[in-house]
A and B are shown apart, each in its own frame.
Chain A
């Protein structure tokens, strides 16, 4: 599957199928800090991602000091 990452923006090609939580674990990304969006739609942690999916892993952490 094609995986889009941000900050910095980059693309990875990762073997599928693979569940969302496993993909995040493989990339050492915290589920609490990211949303996973497949073909424009949010998907939960146990969703299986197929080899031909296009997946965005969107970080949600933002903000400078207050």
Chain B
């Protein structure tokens, strides 16, 4: 196989583009896709102060690396979830990435700062692990961005992530969720602007970016996410993609371009009776926000070892 651009030996095939690339031209392709996503959806400018939600996995480290490569200024935020060795190792990857590049990494620990961890919250709430994990991360990312004066919160969600969520929401015709599934969510009272610069790159491509850029990342999957619906949707879409390359791209990007505008009226109103949480001040529809409620339940629960939760990602 030869590179589509220079005819030198290719290192990767990209079936959705019907192309093969050498390392430099693959990296150029990734830069073009991210540059286009940033421009098309008005994500950020070099004047922005960006905060990247960093997990130590390939996507968050790739997006942090690409933003720097493209001339943007971005700090990182790592949330220690307390998922046993998995979290310990993921923190090491995030710290190593930041320190090798002289980047600022802010760290928050659920256990040290809020008195619980994801396995314990899972047991305390009797819900799937991804529920407490996602709630905690969303709240803490938003809060850190607002408190730190950042103008935009960046996440590493890629094309596969977005296509999988879209697939799940479409199977159930969740119109309110579909209407909000955009690459950019604008800032509003108490919430930062949120952007997803990797929506035009598949996760195979973000992983290849990391390999070719020499970025060490945590390859292992979260031990308690195994079997969740999101991963099942990804597998289903990849089975289709293998037969019909480009389907994921068309599914998601055509949704954003053609369908999302038609659904605008179905989104929950942004000002739906939001008021400050009586405990933390974050916007919420009740007295106590969902995060503070989670803290109140999980922080008084006996700590639970990750081994007792492993494999419970599937819906119970």
Contact = CB atoms under 8 A, between A and B. Distances in A.
B10 A44 contact: yes
B12 A62 contact: no
Interface in B134-192: 134, 157, 160-161, 164-165
Nearest to A47: B1
A63 B206 CA distance: 13
B225 A44 contact: no
Contacts of B164: 63
A30 B161 CA distance: 17
Q: Say what secondary structure dominates the interface of chain B.
A: helix
B242 A59 contact: no
B220 A31 contact: no
A35 B207 contact: yes
Given A35-B204, A65-B230, A44 B219 contact: no
Contacts of B208: 35, 42
A39 interface: no
B128 to A, nearest CB: 8
Q: How many B residues are at the interface, by size bracket?
A: 35 or more
Nearest to A37: B211
Nearest to B165: A66
B235 A64 contact: no
19 contacts: A31-B13, A31-B242, A32-B204, A33-B238, A35-B208, A42-B11, A44-B20, A58-B211, A60-B207, A61-B221, A62-B57, A63-B161, A63-B230, A64-B129, A64-B133, A64-B313, A65-B228, A66-B157, A66-B165
Interface of A: 6-7, 9, 30-35, 37, 41-47, 58-66
**What are the nearest 5 A-B pairs in CB distance?**
A64-B225, A64-B130, A65-B130, A60-B207, A44-B13
